[in-house]
Structure 1
């Protein structure tokens, strides 16, 4: 069980990484934009700066700064201008690496607690768009879209999400016009070797099938195939539940694979398995390299593909509960800092509520419905205590208090409910907006 002791070890690893950065100039150089940065003792030194950004400033910056120094027990504060100058010295890469430290720390300290499906980690892969404020610098870097009335600045984000362990194992933010297929194919090597990657129908291309299969260590995949594909139509006509076929590449696939360094021509073939999944209102076809002789039976794939929905839920958490689109700066670097810091904080939140959720899952009381931790309130409580966790020498006591709080106010899990997907209108001003069922905690 992921108890408080394991959470304490993970927090300790995160704190130690900051300490190592401060004592190793070569490592620090990776995260600062000049060798002269973070060499003087300032109010906002390296350690305080990264914690302030991780705390996710969503209110007026002057108020956030006063509150931050108050939590540190300092009577002094710093100006908004000083904060902006300090953060311009910090590379967003720090938060990307810090998140990797967190994920690796979890795997190291809780190997028996890592949830798996038939021995595999389930990684749902998907992308999303982020609305940004329309400024010249953000427009020039990220781009967006426009019509006869206005223009919108947006960024493309991409995630590898471990659906069973509630962790974003990899993320990136890129210009809006970057294709999700391009990002997916570029980051296949980031998928753990012991994982199954799950994709929706947008990713059902010969190139994606091939890149997973042709890695030095094959990556397993489950991809919902488009109904319009010829081999899908042909398979459905057979009436079979499962069939192994050989696919030939299109000219676009040949070109794309050559760009990725794979010699391919019209004689190249790839072997995949198609599985029919019957749902209440539709029939889905799954393309995969999970073979029946390896123990992957036909009736497993409906539930397996459904687990992909976890990445959609996590993106909603990032955008709504954690207000990812409410950025604390208007520069490219500040947007990237906030993005990667939000992903890291989402993972830290998932780990800290884990023990409470395990206890709720094991609760045999007579409550009508199973219970889950209130994600919104628990994240708000984590933000309140973040500075104390990292700066005060009583982490164990604070984590136990947090776990007790998470157990106190829970939400019921009503299984079997479904709701039609409601398409929201575009956010014309490109500023953060939470939907009616979300209020920031």
Structure 2
């Protein structure tokens, strides 16, 4: 599947998002000035996360095509406070919905999308106003409450697109964010053909019920304390794959976040859960909870599907260390949210271009005696080129946008890095370099 047409249409229709409904003040942008509504919406997308005053003037001079014009960073910060971050969320939703309208082409496992939900902590400016707006208490002697926020994402583990995201106080429950993601994506893609994977922190009855109510599917890595009675019975009977009826009593329902799910739980009174024991490479037995029928996924397939969950960690690394999503350009919550959601949108554009560029790669890897290699586009170069060409992409000229996209793809398909298709195991690595068998990171449980 090629994504170039979606990107061309997306940037070509950028003016559809330059609307008064995203302006938080009736009087803002009513006078003609250096910074128009369109310019202010563009700015976070063009920002390269360098010194603010340099970025502001670089942006304005390119925007107005006037090398002598100047503006203060305070002026653009004031204007940005009138823009609702929802504009960038709507851009992303529109882009993702168009891509996932092609259900068959986007499926990756027996007609299903395979996704993962997880969260990560990011630092935010440690200022009085930032802490107040994010609900972080003032610093104490023990410094218990650091200035940080929680980002949570739902990611397609095959295609790498971020389907849903949010930025909240770090103390917000991960389950609450996961429930938000399921509601957020139900109109963007077919959840009845979606399998969502979760780590050990998500074995929530409420989350399972929410997924079942949406006629969707989940795979959750369980703790030994989850459904302990049923796990004990499986060990006693020496079985590795069994389905149980779970009663929904008051103690289970009491702490649900959603009143609708509480009512749904009281109505159905019980639900079925499939518990599967799988063996890892190091011999450790792990437990997976799922509502996938046996005819759709065998225990080995469940193990593989859950193992693909690590892709979301790769995406967090890209967001933080490639796009620098945690380098916020303001102190106020509204500007932090603009930075975050605009870069989630840019990330999805980046991933789409990456897929197209890699289809154009013609260079063949060198043959080696030990490992096989595969060429991939250089993400650092690709990000740099997208930022450089952003002014050409955010124009009203579709022909110019098309040329800019092709220029980016041409460079991305030639500036490459290579990765090993089958990375070496611990036993295959050179033990004299970078590896020690007693290193904790080399002996931890992993799928």
Give the TM-score taking structure 1 as reference length.
0.85
Mapping of 1:82-161 within 5 angstroms? 82-108=75-101, 113-144=105-136, 148-150=141-143, 151-161=145-155
Q: 1:223 aligns with which of 217, 220, 233?
A: 220
Which consecutive unaligned segments of at least 5 residues does structure 2 have?
427-438, 442-447
Task: Kindly indicate whether residue 209 of structure 2 is the aligned counterpart of residue 179 of structure 1.
Answer: no
Task: Kindly indicate whether residue 51 of structure 2 is the aligned counterpart of residue 67 of structure 1.
Answer: no
Q: In the TM superposition, what whole-angstrom CA distance separates every residue of 1:378-432 from its partner, at most 9, and x where no partner exists? A: 111211111112227312222122112112221112233579786xxxxxxxxxx
The change in CA–CA distance for 1:113 and 1:376 in structure 2 (over 3 A counts) is: farther
In 2: Cα distance, 1:45 partner to 1:371 partner:
43
In 1: Cα distance, 2:378 partner to 2:207 partner:
37
Q: In the TM superposition, what whole-angstrom CA distance separates every residue of 1:291-341 from its partner, at most 9, and x where no partner exists? A: 013x32222011100111111111111111111111000111011111101
In 2: Cα distance, 1:175 partner to 1:258 partner:
17
The change in CA–CA distance for 1:260 and 1:416 in structure 2 (over 3 A counts) is: farther
Instruction: Give RMSD over aligned pairs.
Output: 2.5
Q: Partner residue of 1:190?
A: 184
Q: 2:293 aligns with which of 291, 294, 312?
A: 291
Mapping of 1:336-415 within 5 angstroms? 336-360=337-361, 366-367=366-367, 368-391=372-395, 393=397, 394-414=400-420, 415=422
Q: 2:16 aligns with which of 1, 16, 20?
A: 20
8 A contact 2:133–2:332 mirrored in 1: no
Mapping of 1:307-346 within 5 angstroms? 307-346=308-347
Mapping of 1:24-43 within 5 angstroms? 28-43=19-34
Q: Partner residue of 1:211?
A: 210
In 1: Cα distance, 2:268 partner to 2:81 partner:
52
The change in CA–CA distance for 1:55 and 1:188 in structure 2 (over 3 A counts) is: same
In 2: Cα distance, 1:86 partner to 1:417 partner:
52
Give the TM-score taking structure 2 as reference length.
0.84
In 2: Cα distance, 1:357 partner to 1:238 partner:
50
Q: Secondary structure at the match of 2:255?
A: helix
- Alpha-carbon offset, residue 279 of structure 1: 0.3
In 2: Cα distance, 1:106 partner to 1:15 partner:
16
The change in CA–CA distance for 1:266 and 1:167 in structure 2 (over 3 A counts) is: closer
Which consecutive unaligned segments of at least 5 residues does structure 1 have?
23-27, 423-441
In 2: Cα distance, 1:252 partner to 1:30 partner:
44
